[in-house]
Structure 1
Amino acid sequence: MEFGTAVQALTDDVGIYISGRLRYILLQKGGNDFPPKEFSESLVTDCEQVISVIVEAWRSSPIQVEWDIEEYIKDVGRYPPAFPPEDEVVESKPVIVRDVQGSHLAWYLPRAMSEALQAGWNHKPFNRVLFALESLQPYFASSPPVSRKSWRNNKAYFRGSEASVFPPGIYDRTSLGASAALKKNSAGSKRFLRDILEFQALIGGIIFVLHPAQYAIMRGALVRAASPSLQIAPGETIEDWELYQEIIGTWASCFTGLSIISQREAPFHRDGRSPPTMFDVLATFGKVVDPDIRAELPGIGIRFHYNPGTILAVLSKAIRHGVSISKEP
């Protein structure tokens, strides 16, 4: 049975539209494209907001370190940051962080998520993504923070006992298929993925522009994973094939994993499962602006204001990063 991916159905078009508009605005090449007629009004608004912030970052003076990321990866910690630790450098405007060769280490995109995405769902006064998260409340309630070696679900890093981490993904750690978290709350998970379909596509469209090679690799993996003639390792099977088909049909992210973090700080760390030259994307949502919350890249010596609407793309395996917990409710 043939079944397609949401990446093919939507995310490719989002990436093509954003890249075409940027090519016209920044390079005066190509036409000033109109969005595909299939795009909703809210998705067009979201795309235009992302485009405007990427343009601002591109035209701003970059933050540059004096080392090569390829050499840095070979000997992490040897190279000095762009700013010494005693300098309290907190960035609030869109900017690109790059190495001495011009390779991009991070993109800081505050306000990249539009007001429509942040503060309205059919003109109602609530956040569209936060509204979608209601579908996951049964999982949060059944998965409180615990004391364990991994910091990712260690209660010491959470503000409240009801907060948790929901790590949905297409792949789990041992076999191809829906992750354990998706299986545990499959009805809520499927509803959640449908509700954030356009947000997933928007993140994919951003990677399409920031790192085209990464997008092509990840897209190829997802399309192959959707093929009925998929070849897997001997002895492996795809569990819950029907659920897997449903999930991949609403999985518009070009990534194979998505974690939702609630009421938790993230201590400085590197993401060991990510390729060293590919971006991970952090996005923050909320109802209250906290002037004290920061996303920090200590190896570069830079802190970013990290308020609702911010997107931070970073080489998460190579560059240590962390996020403080909000003091606001």
Structure 2
Amino acid sequence: MQRPALLASAALWVMHPQLYWASIKTHIELGHWLRDQGLVDMHRFLKHWASIYTGTAIMCNHQSPDHRDPKCLPEAFNILTCIGSYQQAIMKLPNLGIELAYNLGVMVSYSGRLVRHGIRVDEGNQIVWSWFL
């Protein structure tokens, strides 16, 4: 899990360095707070968390209608990466007027709260690794 975590983190560092450093600062402050609260297990787990993102989800053969993610921060960039063997998948970003071929290895980043997004998979197996703040 560390390699994809580092790859997504590096992509954010290039796309939005201020957000990257804000997340690093948040992780450091959270680590200090956990230590001060005596939450030893959580403090130890945070030391091994390789991503600057606070959460991740893995979705398999998941199609989703166009939607927004209302609990995400508007300024945060989600990163989705495609893995798997499939013939056709389309990612739609309708309020931007964009439809793109969601091929193996594609990495897409956007504000999940501001940008409507959806995925259509016609056939095959698709895995999407989603990183979010």
Q: TM-score, normalised by structure 2?
A: 0.83
Q: Which of 72, 77, 100 is 1:279 aligned to? A: 77
SS state of the match for residue 308, structure 1? coil
Tell me: CA distance 1:295–1:229, structure 2 relative to 1, closer, same or farther (3 Å).
Answer: closer
Amino acid at match of 1:225: L
2:130 is matched with: none
Amino acid at match of 1:213: Q
Task: Say which structure is richer in strand.
Answer: 2
Matched, 1:304 2:100: yes
Matched, 1:313 2:118: no
**Cα deviation, residue 207, structure 1:** 0.5
Unaligned runs of 5+ in 1: 1-195, 232-236
Q: Determine the C-alpha separation between the residues in 2 that align with 1:254 and 1:324.
A: 28
Amino acid at match of 1:279: F
Matched, 1:216 2:12: no
Q: Which runs of 4+ in 1 moved over 2 A?
A: 228-231
Tell me: CA distance 1:243–1:265, structure 2 relative to 1, closer, same or farther (3 Å).
Answer: farther
Matched, 1:200 2:22: no
2:57 is matched with: 259
**Cα deviation, residue 245, structure 1:** 2.9
Question: Conserved in 1, the CA contact under 8 Å of 2:34 and 2:42?
Answer: no
Larger Rg: 1
Q: Determine the C-alpha separation between the residues in 2 that align with 1:244 and 1:289.
A: 38
**Cα deviation, residue 224, structure 1:** 0.9
SS state of the match for residue 108, structure 2? strand
User: RMSD over aligned Cα, in angstroms?
Assistant: 2.0
Structure with the greater relative contact order (CA < 8 A, sep ≥ 6): 1 or 2?
2
Question: Conserved in 2, the CA contact under 8 Å of 1:269 and 1:321?
Answer: yes
**Cα deviation, residue 280, structure 1:** 0.7
**Cα deviation, residue 249, structure 1:** 2.1
SS state of the match for residue 317, structure 1? coil
Tell me: CA distance 1:229–1:270, structure 2 relative to 1, closer, same or farther (3 Å).
Answer: closer
Q: Determine the C-alpha separation between the residues in 2 that align with 1:228 and 1:279.
A: 25
**Cα deviation, residue 260, structure 1:** 1.0
Q: Determine the C-alpha separation between the residues in 1 that align with 2:29 and 2:62.
A: 35
SS state of the match for residue 283, structure 1? strand
SS state of the match for residue 284, structure 1? strand
Tell me: CA distance 1:242–1:229, structure 2 relative to 1, closer, same or farther (3 Å).
Answer: closer
* 1:224-282 Cα shifts (integer Å, max 9, x gaps): 11126767xxxxx78xx344234212211111111111121121111112221221111
**Cα deviation, residue 326, structure 1:** 4.5
Q: Which of 12, 30, 47 is 1:225 aligned to? A: 30
Q: Determine the C-alpha separation between the residues in 2 that align with 1:269 and 1:319.
A: 8
Question: Conserved in 2, the CA contact under 8 Å of 1:279 and 1:316?
Answer: yes
Amino acid at match of 1:258: T
Question: Conserved in 1, the CA contact under 8 Å of 2:65 and 2:119?
Answer: yes
| Overall identity of the aligned pairs, in % | 23
Question: Conserved in 1, the CA contact under 8 Å of 2:91 and 2:100?
Answer: yes
Unaligned runs of 5+ in 2: 126-133
Amino acid at match of 1:265: Q
Amino acid at match of 1:325: V
